[in-house]
Structure formats: C-alpha cells, structure tokens
Amino acid sequence: MKLVAVTACPTGIAHSQMAAENLEQTAERLGHDIKVEVQGAMGAQNELTADDIAEADVVIIAADTAVTRDRFEGKSLVKGTVKDGVNDAEGLIEKAEDLAETEGTEQIDLSAGESASGSEATESDAETATAESPTAGADAQDQQRRGGDREKGLFQRLKRLFS
C-alpha cells in the first residue's frame, strides 16, 4: 500500500522528526511505501508533490498544529497527534489499512475522541468513573485529565528550584 504522511508540531525541532522516522520505519516493517513531509518552525522538509499525493492510497496526518487538508481532497485520511506518530505509529498505519480496504473517501480523527486503538469510551465506563468518584458530576464526565504526575510538571520543578 502507498501512504503519504505529514507530521507537524509547533516547534518542529524534535517531535515531528521522531514521528516521521517512526512512521517510516513502521511502514517499511509492515511492507508499505510511505513518504513523510515534516512541517515545523523551519518550514516544510521532504515536501509531498501532487504526484505523491495522487498515487497514495491513504493520507496520515500526525500533527499538533493546523495542517492544510485542501491538497488531500478526495483521499481517505487518518488524523492523529504527533504523540500518536511517536508512540503508536503502528496504530495509525493500521487505521490507514482499514480505510484502504473500504471504498470511498473517509476521514478518521483519532485526536477527536476516538483512541488510537479504535475503541471509544462507553456509557458504562462513564458510569463506573462517576460511581468511583462521589464528587463527579455531569461536568466531570466531559473532563479528561491530561499530562502525567503533577509533581513532575514544569511549574512544580520551577517552584522547587526557586524555593
């Protein structure tokens, strides 16, 4: 299968490069051809041509910034975050494989509620979370904690440094 991908992050120094490399290695291991464009603060590297896009079966976008989708009009598209590209490139490529099997032009946005494994939270998961937390209300179901241990965050480290 022929894939094209775009990775982009706000700074574009390390994470978009790592995502691109991981997508390339994973696609090669799975037997797919892929060309990855990297967008960042320095502009675009390894830019996709119109021919590259025309030949592609599916487009993968692993980005934390806005990527213009106009040039991918009429193509099946999988959208995820740079983190997905770094940590779960195989999951992104598997979603692309699923899209290639279906006829038509479909778009899957993994960063908008669907997890990289393809499963969505069910009502029973939300009820379990509400039952475990007595202060959890309707607003708590919509909230999602992001990040890791708060004690290891930048603010806490700076606080310890200056105290």
Percent of the chain with pLDDT over 90: 12
Q: Are 101 and 57 in contact (CB under 8 A)?
A: no
Query: Residues with catalytic annotation?
Result: 9
Arch. (CATH architecture) of 2-109 = 3-Layer(aba) Sandwich (3.40)
- Given this model, what pLDDT does residue 140 score? 46
pLDDT in tens, 103-127: 656 666 666 554 333 333 333 333 3
Q: Are 57 and 72 in contact (CB under 8 A)?
A: no
pLDDT in tens, 130-160: 344 444 444 444 444 455 555 556 777 777 7
**pLDDT, mean over the chain:** 74
Query: Which of 10-14, 40-44, 54-58 has maximum average pLDDT?
Result: 54-58
- Given this model, what pLDDT does residue 60 score? 92
Residue spans of the domains in the chain: they are 2-109, 123-162
